[in-house]
């Protein structure tokens, strides 16, 4: 493989991971904001959990400590929104 081919493959992989990350964050934040408007709907929770799953999928390829700290903060927000009584005792 030449250097140009390797750089192109790396750039394509990086773009796909960044797209997954952005899509996951948009889904998570959309679900969190919609939960303020529609508080008792299960689909807002499903949208947030789907967003977290997409973010975790992107993190599987990008294994840095900073990334997983960011993911853990979002997971903590999700647990706090879905199960406040449980989050209070963690």
Six token digits for residue 50: 């789907």
Helices and strands in the chain, H and E counts: 4, 0
Six token digits for residue 17: 């991971």
pLDDT score for 84: 81
- Residue numbers of the chain with a pLDDT score lower than 70: 1-12
Six token digits for residue 80: 């706090």
pLDDT tens for 49-70 read 999 999 999 888 777 899 899 8
pLDDT score for 54: 93
């Amino acid at each position: 493989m030449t250097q140009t081919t390797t750089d192109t493959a790396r750039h394509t992989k990086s773009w796909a991971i960044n797209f997954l990350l952005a899509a996951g964050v948009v889904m998570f934040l959309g679900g969190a904001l919609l939960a303020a408007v529609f508080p008792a709907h299960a689909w807002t929770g499903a949208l947030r959990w789907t967003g977290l799953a997409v973010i975790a999928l992107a993190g599987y390829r990008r294994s840095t400590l900073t990334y997983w700290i960011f993911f853990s903060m979002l997971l903590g927000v999700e647990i706090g929104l879905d199960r406040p009584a449980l989050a209070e005792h963690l």
